[in-house]
Structure 1
């Protein structure tokens, strides 16, 4: 990793207080992957950085440091990201938590970065949120080496799924995943309500392997939001 980086494109994933007046900032950058920076003085009322360093915000950042925790030198906002609300906000927090949990630090993922940009656009405009979310989950699994293999799927056969071994045909029975639906998922086609439902189940099963037993905080937020709604 370079000692100093200038004007790198990134998104803010999460911030938390650090010492008396600073922030720890988790970023997803185009060229450097997931990074953690110290933003000195960012919590001071007079600091402009506190307005830049909001989740989902696209920024241009400069930093220095040879170790895993860098020091933020400057940040600029190309355009202000309108705040997410409701379900879109919860989906955004869920995706950011996935990136924080699953992406190894300092490994570039330019393709996934583009899919993240696409997802944020869908969340902001409240358009195809569910389809964009499933597409992103699948791309994330591919990126970290746990991609779902659809190459042997046949449309007229039903399957079970185990995240350790993949799909297994079901003989003389109706399995939970019909091949025709799986082939639509493989092509990121989510117009069919049934496909959307089974894709959600499939991605949750696949992600369970890499997430382990530690629950996602964002899922608890979803549950609380559902109760209040």
Structure 2
């Protein structure tokens, strides 16, 4: 390495998606802890004897070495960098069954809601902690993990209002009154019959978000999974521009075939 040159960045990452780039190479969409989402060229990764083939798998924490970004024609750093090395950094085995669909659902949310090169270290750790909580039988623990991750993602991207106050008036929530989470109006009074949650539940969820622990957030989500799923689905659908997620559509199609 030349004197004064910067060493390649080594950082933790997950593969969110990959695209064919040539007969032997791939374009990777990585979720890194230090730099957020990155587009990375993995040269030669498709060759039969490439060591990268067994490493560049979804849902596996890896350690990557990236090249220094080249300059584009306008003088700014290029958006795509080159993968110089990658190795497994430990973690769970690949999920199976419903857990696999849930994992791809998380990846699709990250791909569509995160801007490139925008670091979210708390969200990175939340993602890493959520993956082992996803089970093949879609049990309550898996559902709580999904809801907790959706909440953390919405907070990190600035799309979730303060859950402890009425959004339009900023008035504190009344503990026993029912409130709903609307895509455009935020937290607002709502009847129980309309699917609302009491104020104490929303305040508990907000406290868990501020605490930062995914375990605490999952625990806060567990008692109200059906109502929370409906509220968060509406909010995510709104911020995704009303476009359905491919993962969710595939899950629905598979369920129809099984039924």
Partner Cα distance (2:181, 2:123) in 1: 24
Match of 1:54 in 2: 57
Q: Which one of 122, 128, 147 corresponds to residue 134 of structure 1?
A: 147
- The one of 89, 94, 101 aligned to 1:90: 101
Which residue is 1:191 aligned to?
222
Distance 2:129 2:176 in 1: 32
After TM superposition, where is structure 1 displaced by more than 4 Å over at least 4 residues in a row?
A: 124-127
In our comparison, the structure showing a higher alpha carbon Rg is 2
**Taking structure 2 as the reference length, what is the TM-score of the superposition?**
0.80
Aligned pair in 2 of structure 1 residues 3, 96: CA closer, same or farther (>3 Å)? farther
Q: Which runs of 5+ in 1 are unaligned?
A: none
CA distance in 2 between counterparts of 1:139 and 1:63 reads: 28
Q: Structure 2: any 5+ residue segments left out of the alignment?
A: 70-76, 166-172, 209-216
Counterpart in 1 of 2:233?
204
Q: Normalising by structure 1, report the TM-score.
A: 0.89
Cα 1:54–1:168 change in 2 (3 A) is same
1:59 positional shift: 0.8
* Residue 213 of structure 1 pairs with residue 232 of structure 2: no
Which residue is 2:46 aligned to? Answer: 43
Does structure 2 conserve the Cα–Cα contact (< 8 Å) formed by 1:14 and 1:54?
Answer: no
More displaced stretch, 33-42 vs 80-89: 80-89
Where 1:91 maps in the other structure, the secondary structure is helix
**Aligned-residue RMSD, C-alpha:** 2.2
